[in-house]
């Protein structure tokens, strides 16, 4: 993408969620102005590129700022759980607190936002965390990230939906705290998520790339964990749409799952993909892994070549 295009001046957001029938993925590609107050809806809607005419009408507002300026309010940071003994399950923030402490939301809101970690007064993004590799099997939805390259990688994991309900999660915005970690060559770390989490883990060599608008780039490992609006099916794919639209470097990505007969989503360095989202595929459906209800175990090769 080039900033001279009106589409880029408003900022693009690209996301994918899995659907149990026919790989009916739904993109979350929206202009930044739309992200601030998305309309309520009963189900995820397929992404379409914003019309040029509509963008012109809002160009004066969009050109006054190069990045999202609103700092979403977030819940107070959760109290860190006590260090468990070896081999014990580490609970998510919201577990065991009871639903009475959480504000109830409408069905439409749940279907739109999914789980962003804010139940029971917990902080946004507390629905995902790193756990020791040897207890990964204690969790229903686990993703093992292994650096298969010869240089360190930074990984940033976040909910697609921000703490105020807008599509701000994939931007480096003040007040949002994504999960960040480094992977040395050959190192593996396990990320686990709660049910109904729609997330992205973006990664780049050494330090995560960001677009001029502050959107995380690099390669995206997109995951949908037990989506309640889709019968608790899950899904995943590699996506380099953001980086390629901005003509940025594209590192390699490979996601495989034994839950799909070792089906994989692959993007090679530079942006050549197999069963993955690469440049020119914004309008396509049916890409990536679809996993029946019941959990998953994914292996993500970071820096794949």
In this prediction, residue 279 carries a pLDDT of 96
Mean pLDDT of the chain: 75
23-41 pLDDT, tens digit each:
334 444 333 223 333 333 3
163-179 pLDDT, tens digit each:
988 889 999 999 899 99
Identify the weakest region by mean pLDDT among 12-26, 82-96, 228-242, 261-275: 12-26
Identify the weakest region by mean pLDDT among 7-11, 108-112, 215-219, 292-296: 7-11
Query: SS3 breakdown of the chain: % helix, strand, coil, rounded to 5?
Result: 15, 30, 55
Identify the weakest region by mean pLDDT among 8-12, 32-36, 89-93, 134-138: 32-36
Identify which of 177, 171, 248, 169 has the alpha carbon closest to the alpha carbon of residue 216. 171
Identify the weakest region by mean pLDDT among 13-27, 33-47, 198-212, 268-282: 33-47
Identify which of 193, 190, 289 has the alpha carbon closest to the alpha carbon of residue 234. 289
Confidence band of 192 (pLDDT split at 50, 70, 90): very high
Average pLDDT over residues 211-232: 95
262-288 pLDDT, tens digit each:
789 999 999 999 999 999 998 887 799
Domains of the chain are 6-59+96-302 (2.60.110.10)
Identify the weakest region by mean pLDDT among 68-77, 99-108, 193-202, 267-276: 99-108
Identify the weakest region by mean pLDDT among 10-19, 119-128, 135-144, 265-274: 10-19
Q: How far apart are the C-alpha atoms of 181 and 144, rounded to whole Å?
A: 13
Better-scored residue on pLDDT, 71 or 93: 93
Q: Answer whether residue 294 shows pLDDT above 70.
A: yes
CA distances from 137 to 132, 146, 197, 230, 293 (A): 10, 17, 18, 24, 17
Q: Answer whether residue 241 shows pLDDT above 80.
A: yes
Q: How far apart are the C-alpha atoms of 304 and 146, rounded to whole Å?
A: 9
């Amino acid at each position: 993408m080039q900033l001279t295009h009106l589409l880029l001046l408003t900022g693009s957001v690209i996301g994918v969620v899995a659907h149990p029938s026919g790989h009916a993925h739904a993109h979350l590609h929206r202009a930044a102005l739309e992200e601030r107050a998305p309309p309520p809806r009963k189900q995820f809607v397929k992404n379409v590129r914003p019309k040029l005419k509509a963008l012109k009408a809002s160009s004066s507002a969009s050109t006054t700022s190069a990045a999202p300026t609103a700092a979403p309010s977030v819940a107070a940071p959760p109290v860190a759980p006590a260090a468990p003994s070896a081999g014990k399950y580490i609970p998510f923030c919201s577990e065991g607190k009871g639903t009475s402490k959480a504000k109830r939301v409408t069905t439409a809101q749940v279907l739109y936002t999914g789980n962003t970690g804010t139940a029971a007064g917990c902080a946004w993004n507390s629905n995902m965390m790193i756990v020791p590799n040897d207890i990964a099997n204690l969790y229903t939805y686990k993703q093992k990230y292994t650096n298969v390259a010869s240089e360190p990688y930074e990984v940033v994991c976040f909910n697609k939906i921000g703490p105020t309900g807008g599509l701000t999660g994939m931007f480096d915005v003040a007040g949002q705290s994504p999960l960040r970690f480094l992977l040395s060559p050959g190192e593996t770390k396990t990320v686990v998520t709660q049910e109904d989490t729609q997330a992205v883990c973006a990664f780049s060599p050494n330090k995560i790339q960001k677009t001029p608008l502050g959107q995380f780039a690099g390669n995206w490992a997109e995951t949908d964990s037990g989506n309640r609006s889709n019968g608790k099916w899950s899904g995943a794919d590699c996506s380099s749409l953001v980086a390629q639209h901005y003509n940025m470097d594209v590192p390699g990505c490979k996601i495989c799952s034994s839950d799909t007969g070792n089906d994989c989503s692959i993007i090679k360095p530079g942006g050549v993909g197999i069963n993955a989202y690469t440049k020119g595929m914004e309008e396509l459906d049916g890409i990536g892994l679809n996993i029946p209800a019941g959990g998953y175990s994914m292996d993500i090769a970071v820096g794949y070549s």
